[in-house]
Every structure is written in structure tokens, then in C-alpha cells.
Structure 1
Amino acid sequence: MKVLIVGTGGVGGYFGGRMAKAGHDVTFIARGAHKKAMEENGLEVKSINGDFSLDKVTVTDTISEAATPDLVIISVKAWQVKDIAMQLKDVISDHTLVLPLQNGVLASDELKEELPEKNVLAGLCRIISKIDSPGKINHLAVDPVIVFGECDNSKTDRVLELEKVFYDSGFKGQVPKDIQAALWKKFISICVSAWLAITRSTYGEVREQKETRQVMRDLFDEVALLANKKGVNIESDFVDKTMAFIDTFPPDSTSSLTRDVWEGKPSELEYQNGTVVKLADEIGLDVPVNRFIYYSLILMEKRARKQ
């Protein structure tokens, strides 16, 4: 399978690396020192599931230079999706699958604004990983999985075949009964990232302090209620499961949004807590915890985008 990885960070580097190791024809989109290191030394992946390396990889910083792929995995930041969609227009064929793995619930819709609906899947991933240094990926926690499907939840041959490709590449692929519910379930859990940023704390610190743990719980309750109000099927005990899931994270771990805010970089704030506020306002739902968190960081976000 010809695979194009758009965004070779912790997510794209890991999943693309596994697929290349399994023998697929993978092209990585990377830039700067990361691209140079991959050109010279290949890709090295440190993982809780076993380290591996690729002595030689195909890497470019220009999407238009890539051969027409069978599969595009988009693993850039959420705010970059619209621009990526425009760049993919001249690269994909009628049969190319475009799979976004962004945090949030808007990526597939944004892709379909520029690309044919038949090309676009819906998806998410679960993994805690990052670039340790140029050309080196570190998978720190969580058993990696890509959850994906047709946007209308039809179980087509192409998604079932892709599920097998992922398993054969050394990580889990999962086609759920309801991909929209799956997207919202992850969305609920990631919205705590901005709370970590505000408190300048790790998952372990936030979950162990009674007061900050309660704010985390209230935040999750708001997003779960919003999902249900929008007709998404979120089980009544899902917030309890989310709290239990976060309790399994390494105590010193954080999220990409958290680190971006701390480092003064543009973050996915608008696509996480900002989206909660926007969608809640559309239906007249009060989400005070998410609104406070969003408003507390919005000026920092604006400054980061002016740099």
C-alpha cells in the first residue's frame, strides 16, 4: 500500500514508521531539522511496545512531490487541516482514502469542504508520543490504536481491509459501530489538556489533588452533556470510565496542547475547549468550566499566533 503521512510528529512518526517497517511504501512529510535527520539517518522509534528503526525512509516537505497514495494519514495540528486539504487536491485519486487523526470533532467536515466526500474517512488515534529529537520518536504510553470508519458508519470493504492492514503493521485498527460517538468520547477526554496548561501541572498532579480533580470531572460532564444534546450516543457511565482511564496515565505525562501552551506555541485550543463553547452557544447550553478555561487561555493563544 502507498501511504502518505502528512505530519511526522509523535503520531505520524509512530504509525507511519510501523507501516513502513511492515513493508508498505510510506512517504513522510516533515520539515526542517527533522526532515534532514530522517534523510541522513532514517527514523528511530522508541516504544513501550518495542523499539524499532528504519535505516532509510522517503521524506519530503512538499505534498505535491508525493506519488498518488492509496492512503493519506493526516496527523498535523487541527488548525492546519483546511490548508492540507487544499494541497491534497492534486495528489489523491478517486480511490485514495484520506484519514484524519486530529483531536476534536471537526476534521472530516473540514476535509469535505475541499475534497470529494467519497475520499474522506473519520478517525482518531490513542497514543502518547512525541518527537524526542530530530529523526527520533518516543512512544511513552497507551497501547496505540487507530479508530476509524466511514463517516456514515457503513461497514464497507475498504475500511475492513484497512483495519487488517493496520493490525498487520503492528498496531490495532478498530472500526467501531458508531465513529461519531467514538470521536466525541475522545473529545471529552482531551478537553482536560487546557486545564493542565492553566494549572501548569501533569496528569498525575491534577488527578491527585481533590480540587483540581473535581474541575476535571466537571469539565468532562459538560462535554458529555453537550454531546448528548447534539444527539451523540454517550453512555451515562462514560465520564466515570474516562476518569479511570486518565488514572492509568504516567503521573508525569502531559498532552501536546498543554506543552504547546507552556512553550508559547499555537495550540488546538479553538478545536478543543473553544469548540465546546461554540457548539454549546449554538444550542443554548451553559458550559461554565470549559468557558472559563477557554477564556483564560485565549489571549495567550492570540499572542502565540502573532509570533
Structure 2
Amino acid sequence: MRFLMVGAGALGGYFGGRLLEAGRDVTFLLRPRRAAQIEKTGLVVQSPFGNLQLPSPPHVLAEDIKVPFDVIVVGSKAYDLDSTMESFAPAVGPNTVILPLLNGMSHIERLVERFGDERVLGGLCMISATLDDEGRVLHLNDMHGLSYGERAGGRSARVDAIAAQFDGAKFSATASETISQDMWEKWVFIASAAGLTSLMRASIGDIASAGGQDVALSIFDECCAIAAHNGFAPRPAAVERGRAIMTAPGSPMTASMYKDIVRGAPVEADHIIGDLLGRAPAGRSPTPSVLRIAYVHLKAYEAQRARQAT
């Protein structure tokens, strides 16, 4: 089975590197700058689960793709999805499966519109990783999970084939029969944590020390209610876990969106927060919710950033 990892950033570099380490057939789709960097330094991964140094990982530029791949793994940011789809389109053949690892749900709709419903699986990953200034993948915590499955539920021959390829790689892989539910539960948590820590410019623990647990629970409960309205009410274990994490005293946790704001980078405001708000039931209270305030805050940041760039 031939895998195309779209990019060799924090996600693609980590999971693609682990698959290569396990002897799988993996090619990275790279932009020219990242290709030049990897040709010089190789793919370097630093992780609590063992470091990797892959001197010459297989890679290709978009214009050089000549044949389709079996599985295309997509982990780009949502605001780059249009250009990302364009770059890997030549690799999509009649039997290609696309496995996206983005947060939220609207990327699924865009991938389906471009490539067809039958080609798009559901997927998510649980990992904290980043690229440093030298292009090394830094794995920052003890989670490196990847879940995937048919969006309609159940198992299939192609999911089983992917499971066989993931077996033995040094990350936790789960072939889920409830991947759409799993994705909604992650979206609820990511939107809550991103909205809260970005709005407050603080960690979960600092917000708790300020007596803000009620604010944290308000945004989390609102996100849960929106998911329920769309037919994906978070299961009790997910609710219990989310409420505990969102109010944990002393927690240093901040969302990656908060980190993006701190470094002046683009954010996925529309994809993570705005799209969730757009799926809320009609006739809501005229008083702005915490989620709505967080979204306006993020859009104001985007406007400020755009103005500074001109």
C-alpha cells in the first residue's frame, strides 16, 4: 500500500516518519522550500518514544506526481486546504482513499465536493507536536494517537487494509467504527479550549485560579449543545473528561490556536469556531455567548493581522 503524506510538518512528519520507520511505503508531498530543507538535513523527529533521523525520505513535488497513491493523508491547516487539494489532486486515482486529520467538519464537506464521497474517510489525531526553526519535528507530549474509519460507521476492507499497514508502527492507531462521533467530540473540546484560552490569553490553570471555571464550563456546555443539535451529543465519558480538563487547577494547557496568536500566525477561526456557531440552533438568546465572544475576538485578531500586513 502506497501512502502519500501531504507535507512533512508536525503531523505529516511525525506519522509519516513512524510509518517509514516501520518499513511502509511512504512518500512526502512537499513544497520546494521544505523539500530543499529535507534534502539537506533529512527528516528529524525528536520524541519521548524515540528519536528518528531519516536521511533521505522519499518525497515529491506536486508537479512531479505521475501515478496515483492508495492512501493520501492530509494534515494541513484548514485555511490552506484549497491549495492543498490542488497539490495532491494528481495523486487521486479510482481507488484512492483520502484520510484527513484536520479538526472540525467542514473540511470533510470540501474534500467530498472535490473528490467524491466514496473517497473520503473520517480521521483525527491526538498529538502535540511542532516544527522548530531548523525543521525538526518536536513531539511535545506522551500522546501520539491516530483514529480513522468509515464516516457512515462500521468496518470495511479498505479500513482493515490500512489497519494492517499501521500495525507495528510506533504510534497508537485505532480503526474506529464511530469516527464521525469521535470527530465531533474532539471538535467540541478543541473549540472550547481554543475559544477559552485564546479569549483569555491564559492557560486553563490560570483561568481556574482567577475563578473562571464557570466561564470554562459555559463555553464547553455550549459546544456540547451544538453537537447534540446536530445529532452527535458527546458521550458521557467525553463530557466528563472535557469538563475536568477545562477546569483543571494548575493546568498549563493552552490550545494551539492560542499559541498561533502569540506568535502572530494565522488561525483557524472560521473552521473551528465560526463553523460550529453556524451549526447552532436558531432562536438563541440575544445575549452573546462566550463562544460568540471568542469568535469575535478571533476575527478582530485576523483583521488586525491583515491590517499590519499591508
Please say whether Structure 1 and Structure 2 have the same fold, judged by a TM-score greater than 0.5. yes
Aligned to 1:223: 223
Secondary structure in 2 aligned to 1:260?
Answer: helix
Report SS of the residue matched to 1:113.
helix
Contact 1:204–1:250 (CA under 8 A) maintained in structure 2: yes
1:145 maps to: 145
State the distance in 1 between where 2:250 and 2:78 align.
25
Which shifted more, 284-293 or 140-149?
A: 284-293
TM-score (norm 2): 0.89
Could you say which residue in structure 2 is the equivalent of 1:17? Answer: 17
Find the residue that maps to 1:89 and give its secondary structure: helix
Q: Which amino acid aligns with 1:268?
A: E
Cα drift, residue 249 of structure 1: 12
Q: 1:98: Cα distance to partner? A: 0.5
Q: Residues 156 and 221 from structure 1, CA distance in 2 versus in 1: closer, same or farther, beyond 3 angstroms? A: same
Amino acid at match of 1:290: L
Report deviation, 1:251.
4.5
CA offsets 1:155-195 (integer angstroms, 9 cap, x no match)? 10111221232232221221223211101110011111232
Q: Aligned ranges for residues 197-276 of structure 1 at < 5 Å? A: 197-206=198-207, 208-236=208-236, 238-245=238-245, 251-276=251-276
Q: What is the match of residue 179 of structure 2?
A: 179
Q: Distance in 2 between matches of 1:304 and 1:23?
A: 43
Q: Point out the more displaced range, 119-128 or 36-45.
A: 36-45
Once the two structures are TM-superposed, the CA of residue 304 in structure 1 deviates from its matched residue by 3.2
Mapped partners of 1:250, 1:37: distance in 2: 39
Decide whether the 8 Å contact of 1:72 with 1:97 is kept in 2. yes
SS at match of 2:14: helix
Q: Say what the alpha-carbon RMSD is for the aligned residues.
A: 2.4
SS at match of 1:184: helix
78-87 vs 187-196, which moves further: 78-87
Cα pair distance change 1:30/1:211, threshold 3 Å: farther
Q: Which structure 1 segments of 5+ residues have no match?
A: none
Distance 1:276 1:56 in 2: 41
- 2:278 equivalent to 1:278: yes
CA positional deviation for 1:29: 3.1
TM-score (norm: length of structure 1): 0.89
Name the SS of the counterpart of 2:141 in structure 1: strand
What amino acid maps onto 2:231 in structure 1? Answer: G
Q: 1:164 aligns to what?
A: 164
- Report the residue type matching 2:301 in the other structure: M
2:52 aligned with 1:65: no
For 1:183, the aligned partner's letter is M
Amino acid at match of 1:110: R
Contact 1:7-1:30 at 8 Å conserved across structures = yes
Structure 2 residue runs of 5 or longer lacking an equivalent are none
SS in 2 for 1:72: strand
Partner of 2:295: 294
SS in 2 for 1:276: helix
Q: Which moved more, 1:30-39 or 1:162-171?
A: 30-39
Secondary structure of the equivalent of 1:169?
Answer: coil
The 2-side partners of 1:198 and 1:55 are apart by 42
Distance 1:33 1:250 in 2: 40
The change in CA–CA distance for 1:243 and 1:51 in structure 2 (over 3 A counts) is farther
- Does the Cα contact within 8 Å between 1:197 and 1:262 map onto a contact in 2? no
Q: Judging changes above 3 Å, is the alpha-carbon distance between structure 1 residues 23 and 44 closer, same or farther for their aligned structure 2 residues?
A: same
Which amino acid in structure 2 is aligned with residue 126 of structure 1?
A: M
CA distance in 1, matches of 2:247, 2:5: 31
- Cα deviation, residue 130, structure 1: 0.5
Shift of 1:233: 3.8
How much does 1:147 deviate? 1.1
Q: How much does 1:246 deviate?
A: 6.0
Partners of 1:104 and 1:187 within 8 A in 2: yes
**3-state DSSP of counterpart to 1:5:** strand
Rounded to whole Å, the distance in 2 between the matches of 1:149 and 1:159 is 6
